[in-house]
Structure 1
Amino acid sequence: MDIRSLACFIAVAEELHFRRAAERVFLSQPAFSARVRALEDEVGVALLERDRRHVALTSAGLAFLEPARAAVRHAAEARSAAQRAARGDTGRLRLGFSVVAFHGALPQMLNEFRGRHPGVALELVEMNSPSQELALAAGEIDLAVLHPPLDTPGLSTQALPGEPLVLALPSAHPLARRRTVKLRDLHGVPLLVAPRSVGPHVYDRLIGAFLQAGVTPHIVQEATPMTTLIGLVAAGAGVGFVAGSVAAAGRAGVAFRPVSPAAPELPVALAWREGRLPPAGQLLLALAKASKAGKRLASS
């Protein structure tokens, strides 16, 4: 029992005239009449009484009319729902993000995305970069804002502006009086760092910058996320590097300063499983590429 035949029956039931009903559904009258007859054969009863001058619903046809209307309506709703989902206007999008990303322009971009696609349910999960890679590979999230280079095969990426790193130090520290802190002046200063496992690329570049400046870093504690590291700085446990967007939020008792030579930049990217980004994720990816919020995702 196809929807097109049901639509033909509804048209003739409402018009009570075969020619007008056929024109309404854009069929020739012979093709239209054949569909109605085939529908009656399938149902097993006469739905219409007709002769050359008269068309009327039988009692069976009257009983059939409302369920037929409901079936056509539901079919249209189903088609529309499928088309919206295929466009990415409905459904679910699971997004992983790092602490750094959520201190930038990501919230603004997600607000813009929600405004454009209110039918998409956004599920947001905060986790560090290596955990996001594993979650993508396992299909637990659809899209991630993380920090390359990546170690997990089968992931595609879209680079975003990198995040500058600045030095967080207690406001009372003598070096806080300087506009720019030289790396060589951190000789012997207790240093707080994120574990290498969280970001080996940046960790190695940061240690390399110290060594190039002739300083062996005095690492006293590992801390993650960056907000925790800042709390330890406020408590006087040492100094450490944090993303500029995290520093922009400020913290009582903590000063943030650039260093010379400049600290390595924290790379940022969107990542997803190759060939497995759902339509809603494709829309968010396009927004990140095109919008001002996306261009400032890591630099705000």
Structure 2
Amino acid sequence: MELRHLRYFVAVAEEGSLTVAAERRLHTSQPSLSRQIRDLEYEVGAPLLTRSVHGVELTLAGKAFLDHARLALSQVEAAREAARRAARPEKPAFGLGFLTGQEMDWLPEAMHVLRDQLPTVDVTVTSEYSPALAEALMRGRLDLAFMRRELDATDLVFRTVTKEPLLVVLPSDHRLAAGENVELQAIAGEPFINVSDTAPALHVVIDDYIRKSGLSITNAHQADNLAMAISLVASTRGFALMPRYALNFLPWSVVGRPVKGTPPTIDLVVGYHKANTSPTLGLFLSKLDTLIGRVANRSR
């Protein structure tokens, strides 16, 4: 009895047809498959299949044999995978996360920091909302993330990499778009697109800034992500306050202008779990200041 006999028998049992199993699963001829099944039945010493107008059906012996055949095939596959792992040990993994959009500025330099480790470490990159990144760090699915300072993530350590000023984002043909900056009072009465709870840290910064401005600004819409906010600005002819990195994504129909006066800022941080002992994480953190400097120099 050979492994191919087991594979052929399982395929026929699952398809319920010698012809279908031969053509779709095994890519062999039906007469050849029939001979293989007969050889298997000879080895077992009992008929495993019966033919009917509906195809083939398992005998009682066939039903008993099927579970064992599947188990044997799965054990063979497990043995093969174990041998492969032993022959080629898996690389250690390093999970790197980014607040969606930030990877454009920070991923190239992050990979530069890790370039010497890339032959020996599997680096995976994730783009997500900041709260989702915090959860992934807490659960050990990520090692480090460029994110916001999430207050509920008490087991995470945060290090500031930059303070991003918020810009006024408005339609490119808006009456204030031609200026170098925008005075909030001049636009306060127009539709305001705020962020939703998918960005709690940014929501707090925006609400606090509007409250301190003393202006009467009410939300016309809430956007779950950057693309939605940009779309709402263009379609409603309203305005939004967005971190500077949004400039990387603005279409021709929308522009960003600095806030006149002292703009509000929001921290971009790297976060990691305080119990994470990954050597790759330690290396990354040791080179963080160099990374920050390279990004700052490139953006000048």
TM-score by length of 1: 0.63
Cα distance change on mapping 1:298 and 1:182 into 2, 3 Å: farther
| Letter of the 1:266 counterpart | I
RMSD: 2.7
Structure 2 distance, partners of 1:286, 1:297, is 19
Which ranges of 4 or more aligned residues in structure 1 deviate by more than 4 Å? 292-295, 297-300
Cα distance change on mapping 1:227 and 1:298 into 2, 3 Å: farther
Question: Corresponding residue for 1:117?
Answer: 117
Shift of the alpha carbon at 1:145?
Answer: 1.0
Instruction: Name structure 2 gaps, 5 residues minimum.
Output: 1-85
The one-character-per-residue Cα deviations of 1:235-257 (angstroms, maximum 9, x if unpaired) are 34521122212214542111111
The one-character-per-residue Cα deviations of 1:235-285 (angstroms, maximum 9, x if unpaired) are 345211222122145421111111123332121111111121411122222
> Is the counterpart of residue 252 in structure 1 residue 252 in structure 2?
yes
Cα distance change on mapping 1:277 and 1:295 into 2, 3 Å: farther
Residues 149-298 of structure 1: pairs in structure 2 closer than 5 A: 149-195=150-196, 197-292=197-292, 296=296
Residues 47-196 of structure 1: pairs in structure 2 closer than 5 A: 91-104=92-105, 106-119=106-119, 120-195=121-196
Query: 1:160·1:297 contact (CA, 8 Å) conserved in 2?
Result: no
Structure 2 distance, partners of 1:299, 1:98, is 19
Cα distance change on mapping 1:107 and 1:118 into 2, 3 Å: same
- Identity in percent: 22
Provide the secondary structure at the position in 1 that maps to 2:287: helix
Instruction: Name structure 1 gaps, 5 residues minimum.
Output: 1-77
The one-character-per-residue Cα deviations of 1:4-46 (angstroms, maximum 9, x if unpaired) are xxxxxxxxxxxxxxxxxxxxxxxxxxxxxxxxxxxxxxxxxxx
Query: 2:161·2:292 contact (CA, 8 Å) conserved in 1?
Result: no
Tell me the matched-pair count. 213
Shift of the alpha carbon at 1:97?
Answer: 1.0
| Letter of the 2:269 counterpart | A
TM-score by length of 2: 0.63
Question: Corresponding residue for 2:78?
Answer: none
Shift of the alpha carbon at 1:102?
Answer: 1.5
Structure 2 distance, partners of 1:296, 1:206, is 24
Question: Corresponding residue for 1:71?
Answer: none
Cα distance change on mapping 1:298 and 1:138 into 2, 3 Å: farther
Query: 1:161·1:299 contact (CA, 8 Å) conserved in 2?
Result: no
The one-character-per-residue Cα deviations of 1:133-180 (angstroms, maximum 9, x if unpaired) are 111111121111111153211111221111111111001111212221
